[in-house]
Structure 1
């Protein structure tokens, strides 16, 4: 049997959703896909990308994503058995198509943009196994890409600060916590009630914060609302998630999205809800998920003050914290420098096509 090539128009083949189930069977953290949501995403992204889906019954699927603007092509939704020859054939097809269309590089895995799943975890699973939206690929994926001529284009890490290191962290940040009391910004705790009135402004702030990041692609407000809405806010920790508003201008200038690690509850496709699910957690670990400062307000310690805000209530609610999926060259990493930690590593891979 050979590859089936599907030029996406309005639907996906059944095999697209069947292949990952067989590949991940027996693994402790089976990725959960909602076919309806995935299809909606493909339809929304087909407006600005040409999309080719390759599947093989031996056990491989991959989407080639060819943006109408930009010099990079992407591969995403990649699931495969550990077979070099099979993947060499698939990626040769994608690379050939990308060259034909004039792209200079093939990047992935990236499911259209950085708002959705992307990157691979490198090395064995860490002690926490997997948290929400953390890459959870089989161990052979990075090695396969290396054999196909891909190398890390961007690297990332997550840092676990264990309970026995928390007192040291508070000692290190004593001056910061004292300065936080005089912070000249309005603080808006994030919860379902506060999310709605700030949703459009939050969308603009997120775009301003991340627009210069490699591989970032802006999404329309309608697509943002599908994933980031009052339901999403219900899963955030309302005590550590916050917006900073500049008092003179009334402008949102910084945000922090944090939530408990709900993974031990096995919620599957059920959206987490802090009020319902936090009390059910036997071991309470905070995930510092997404943190950002508007470019015009950087160099004012706001990234550190976002961390200080979380520290104000952390010890009452949690025993440990994971700083999630930080880019290796990102300033946010400095907040935990010098503390004992467990680190997990990830990468987005690329291949030059010239």
Structure 2
């Protein structure tokens, strides 16, 4: 269930079925736009009242229902243009959430790394092999990724599972934009899938970008992530790209350390905001 709420100069959707925060009934505010911080604060106050009336004890935002869809707002930027599929925020978004009493509850960043001369460590687990998607039967390949994602992402904060049909509905439309050398699968000695990585050229900057985005990768075996990243960076350099974006990394994730080790330079910070609604938790 969703509710669309609006005031003069601001609009938000209240998602009643959101990932639980602290095990409490939680709703989320998403699809947020505002022309000013005051207009944004007013519509968020309206959403808070509706959430309280609906029995919520926690409120997350911005989040379009769950972490499979757009969430997070920009908290710091070097002013560079947004990259493909990056969360976007208006200049008044953060002040509006802050004025409405929201505080950051999870922080993320994106970093840019120069591919030339990168000290790209090779895979260290000889039992892990990385294969490139051959471009055939995307539904079957992405179906395998769905199965692995249930295990790889289950421990992430605010994770909620989705159906196979919904997952394929999200990813298959991007297939025409994908380059096979940036769709990678890691397998163990028995051939079982233990990790995956999706990269995509930054078409947000135009039809011939010089930057490729490491969009998503996950693994269920130690060493698979490094193997995937190593192959990805090497493939991007050989394909003529000059830079890679390490996109939307949680600041406590091991990927944050790896990005820094590879020379990643942070250019954007983000936050998921939250507000406690039940007085007993204050």
The alignment's TM-score, normalised by the length of structure 2, stands at 0.88
Shift of the 340–60 alpha-carbon distance from structure 1 to 2, 3 Å rule, reads closer
Match of 1:153 among 105, 113, 121: 105
Provide the C-alpha distance between the structure 1 equivalents of 2:224 and 2:102, rounded to a whole number of angstroms. 37
Match of 1:335 among 254, 258, 269: 258
Match of 1:314 among 224, 231, 236: 236
Shift of the 307–346 alpha-carbon distance from structure 1 to 2, 3 Å rule, reads same
The answer to whether the Cα contact below 8 Å between 1:186 and 1:245 also exists between their aligned partners in 2 is: yes
Provide the C-alpha distance between the structure 2 equivalents of 1:194 and 1:245, rounded to a whole number of angstroms. 18
In structure 2, the residue matched to 1:277 is none
Match of 1:303 among 225, 249, 261: 225
Moved over 6 A (4+): none
Match of 1:293 among 211, 214, 219: 219
In structure 2, the residue matched to 1:75 is 29
Match of 2:14 among 64, 67, 74: 64
Shift of the 68–325 alpha-carbon distance from structure 1 to 2, 3 Å rule, reads closer
Shift of the 196–87 alpha-carbon distance from structure 1 to 2, 3 Å rule, reads closer
How big is the shift at 1:340? 5.7
Shift of the 158–213 alpha-carbon distance from structure 1 to 2, 3 Å rule, reads same
Secondary structure at the aligned position of 1:184 is classed as coil
Secondary structure at the aligned position of 2:147 is classed as helix
Shift of the 125–136 alpha-carbon distance from structure 1 to 2, 3 Å rule, reads farther
Are 2:208 and 1:232 aligned? Answer: no
Q: How does 1:178-197 map to 2 (within 5 A)?
A: 179=123, 183-190=126-133, 192-197=135-140
How big is the shift at 1:105? 1.1
In structure 1, the residue matched to 2:268 is 344
Unaligned runs of 5+ in 2: none
Q: Which has the higher helix share?
A: 1
Are 2:88 and 1:136 aligned? Answer: yes
Are 2:240 and 1:324 aligned? Answer: no
Secondary structure at the aligned position of 2:156 is classed as coil
Secondary structure at the aligned position of 1:63 is classed as strand
Provide the C-alpha distance between the structure 2 equivalents of 1:68 and 1:106, rounded to a whole number of angstroms. 9
Q: Which has the higher strand share?
A: 2
How big is the shift at 1:191? 5.3
Q: May I ask how many residue pairs the two structures share in their alignment?
A: 272
Shift of the 69–152 alpha-carbon distance from structure 1 to 2, 3 Å rule, reads closer
How big is the shift at 1:221? 1.2
Are 2:163 and 1:220 aligned? Answer: yes
RMSD: 2.1
Provide the C-alpha distance between the structure 2 equivalents of 1:69 and 1:141, rounded to a whole number of angstroms. 22
In structure 2, the residue matched to 1:97 is 50
Point out the more displaced range, 253-262 or 216-225.
Answer: 216-225
Unaligned runs of 5+ in 1: 1-49, 266-279
Are 2:35 and 1:113 aligned? Answer: no
Q: Which has the higher contact order (CA 8 A, sep 6+)?
A: 2
How big is the shift at 1:194? 4.9
How big is the shift at 1:201? 2.0
How big is the shift at 1:332? 0.9
How big is the shift at 1:285? 0.6
